[in-house]
């Protein structure tokens, strides 16, 4: 691969993932849970949400919509495996404060709403509402660049994945 082709990756060699929620984009290392912070599940980013809806960050397929509504795993059309986890330890809510809008196996487009959640109610119950967004097959890519330290709207670019 030549110098210029390394600088100017073609669209099929990189993939843009957008924020699944409005809020502040922070480094995954700021998530107060070692499974996410130490990138055990993969590289990624986290959103401190200000809204109450999670949207698809790309075109793809829902691999697994958790019954409890606290998380969703997607596979992008280009093969990126993405876990979006709403809050920490929120599986313990057993679905309370979450409403799934899609099901496992559904095809989705970037920006489609996936889950609605009651952020304030979750926080009032003592749960951290941060949303880790993890690339579970990170090792399949040469680079994963994230945009952190700023407020984002759902649909803003937060991750660039390069083959």
In order along its 163 residues, the chain shows pLDDT tens digits of 445 444 554 444 469 999 999 999 999 999 999 999 999 999 999 999 999 999 999 999 999 999 999 999 999 999 999 999 999 999 999 999 999 999 999 999 999 999 999 999 999 999 999 999 999 999 999 999 999 999 999 999 999 999 9
Measured CA to CA, the distance from residue 19 to residue 93 in angstroms comes to 24
User: What digits encode the pLDDT tens for the residues 52-83?
Assistant: 999 999 999 999 999 999 999 999 999 999 99
Please, which residues bridge with residue 54 across strands?
A: 115
Apex CA 28: angle with CA 23 and CA 30, to 5°? Answer: 80
Q: Of 150, 135, 138, 159, which is closest to residue 73 (Cα–Cα)? A: 135
Percent of the chain with pLDDT over 90: 91
Q: Which member of 70, 85, 97, 119 is catalytic?
A: 85
Q: Is 97 a catalytic residue?
A: no
Contacts of residue 21, Cβ cutoff 8 Å, sequence gap at least 6: 47, 49, 51, 53, 54, 55, 131, 154
DSSP characters for 59-93? SEEEEEE-TTSSEEEEEETT--EEEEE-SSSGGGG
């Amino acid at each position: 691969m030549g110098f210029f082709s390394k600088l100017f990756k073609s669209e099929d060699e990189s993939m843009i993932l957008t924020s699944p929620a409005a809020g502040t984009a922070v480094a995954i290392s700021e998530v107060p849970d070692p499974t996410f912070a130490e990138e055990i599940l993969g590289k990624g980013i986290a959103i401190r949400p200000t809204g109450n809806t999670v949207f698809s960050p790309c075109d793809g397929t829902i691999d697994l919509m958790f019954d409890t509504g606290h998380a969703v795993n997607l596979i992008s059309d280009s093969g990126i495996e993405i876990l979006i986890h709403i809050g920490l330890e929120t599986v313990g809510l057993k679905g309370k404060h979450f409403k799934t809008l899609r099901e496992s196996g559904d095809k989705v487009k970037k920006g489609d709403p996936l889950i609605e959640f009651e952020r304030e109610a979750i926080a009032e119950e003592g749960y951290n509402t941060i949303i880790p967004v993890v690339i579970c097959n990170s090792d399949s890519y040469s680079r994963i660049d994230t945009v952190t330290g700023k407020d984002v709207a759902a649909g803003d670019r937060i991750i660039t994945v390069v083959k």
